[in-house]
Amino acid sequence: MPSPELTPGARGAIIPIGGAEDKLHNRKILHRFVEVSGGEAAKIAIIPTASELDSTGPRYQKLFKRIGVADAWVLDYRERADTDNPEWLARLGEATGIFMTGGNQLRLSTILGGTEVAMLMRRRNAAGVPIAGTSAGAAFLPEHMIAYGASGATPHAGAVSMAPGLGLTNRVIVDQHFRQRDRIGRLLTALAYNPFVVGFGLDEDTSAFIEGDRVEIVGAGAITVVDVSDLDHSGMASAKEGAPVDLIGVRLHVLTDGCSFDLATRRASPPPAVRREE
């Protein structure tokens, strides 16, 4: 469960990114993350644990310094023993923004899960520090994480394996590289298991800035929002392994840059300019 907010409205933004965010041109998503992390005064902790490439952390460190922050540190947790590093824990506690890179989300859950690092990240977010994750990092942010699953448009029993995530929110479940890798079926499968959360399917170079009930879409692609709050029927309990699953009463939105979604009312809204024209 997410750590309780110290004061109402204090929780920091939760920012899943669909992967392959623009790093060369306007860097809109990364600029926005820096802005909510304190702008030029921001101190960014970069966690490249999901990646097995030694270059991943330093590459983001250079990116954030180029954008313009007070400091950026790479906390390169490679083994569970690394999570006891007191210097890195101090850096994490000092950070005004935390960013998890892409790679394999099971590396995040198996290395960080249940450690002081994970608990400190939840406490820092509850105290107002924004936490972002791209690709695998995005999948790891919620309480429930899609570990892996098959591509395709139709939900199938057994097509998705779930695992515990970081637990910053229990209100959404995230899938990434969504349109590019044809993942609507596996997101629907995940929701068919437990029709409580809202599904966010994030295209590449697209993000959701979740602040309280309000979600704002930022980026070049779209987010497919799958709302099962009015679901009439899920066939998951009776479906045989590998069989398609019937879902009745699913509501779907496709939201692009500037659109918003309210997690409390489950209502989607177009960008402000469109609302003014209407």
* Residue 126 lies inside a defined structural domain of this protein: yes
* Residue 7 lies inside a defined structural domain of this protein: no
Does 278 have pLDDT greater than 80? no
Angle at 41 between CA 47 and CA 45, to 5 degrees: 5
* Residue 6 lies inside a defined structural domain of this protein: no
- Residues 6 or more apart in contact with residue 119 via CB below 8 angstroms: 3
pLDDT band at residue 4 under the 50/70/90 scheme: low
Does 277 have pLDDT greater than 90? no
Does 5 have pLDDT greater than 80? no
Whole-number percent of the chain with pLDDT over 90: 94
Domain with 222, as residue range(s), is: 14-277
The one-character DSSP state at 131 is E
Does 236 have pLDDT greater than 90? yes
pLDDT band at residue 10 under the 50/70/90 scheme: confident
211-222 per-position pLDDT tens digit: 999 999 999 999
> The sheet that has 222-227: what strands, in order across it?
172-175, 198-202, 222-227, 251-256
* Residue 4 lies inside a defined structural domain of this protein: no
CB 237 within 8 A of CB 220: no
CA–CA separation, 158 and 149 (whole Å):
8
3-state secondary structure of 83: helix
Task: State the average pLDDT over residues 123-149.
Answer: 98
Strand-pair category, 131-134 with 97-100: parallel
* Residue 150 lies inside a defined structural domain of this protein: yes
Task: State the average pLDDT over residues 24-41.
Answer: 97
- Residues 6 or more apart in contact with residue 150 via CB below 8 angstroms: 156, 159, 160, 185, 186
CB 197 within 8 A of CB 191: yes
The one-character DSSP state at 156 is B
pLDDT band at residue 194 under the 50/70/90 scheme: confident
- Lowest-pLDDT range, 4-8, 89-93, 198-202? 4-8
CA–CA separation, 155 and 136 (whole Å):
21
CA–CA separation, 29 and 27 (whole Å):
6
Residue 1 pLDDT: 57
Percent helix / strand / coil, the chain, rounded to 5: 30, 30, 45
* Residue 9 lies inside a defined structural domain of this protein: no
Q: Is 115 buried (19+), middle (13-18) or exposed (0-12) by CB count in 10 A?
A: middle
66-105 per-position pLDDT tens digit: 999 999 999 999 999 999 999 999 999 999 999 999 999 9
Q: Is 54 buried (19+), middle (13-18) or exposed (0-12) by CB count in 10 A?
A: exposed
Catalytic residues: 135, 177, 204
* Residue 3 lies inside a defined structural domain of this protein: no
Amino acid sitting at position 29: I
Q: Where are the beta strands (DSSP E) in 76-151?
A: 97-100, 131-134, 144-149
* Residue 135 lies inside a defined structural domain of this protein: yes
237-266 per-position pLDDT tens digit: 999 999 999 999 999 999 999 999 999 999
CATH of residue 121's domain is: 3.40.50.880
Q: Into how many domains does the chain fold?
A: 1
Rg for the chain (alpha carbons), in Å?
Answer: 18
CA–CA separation, 131 and 177 (whole Å):
19
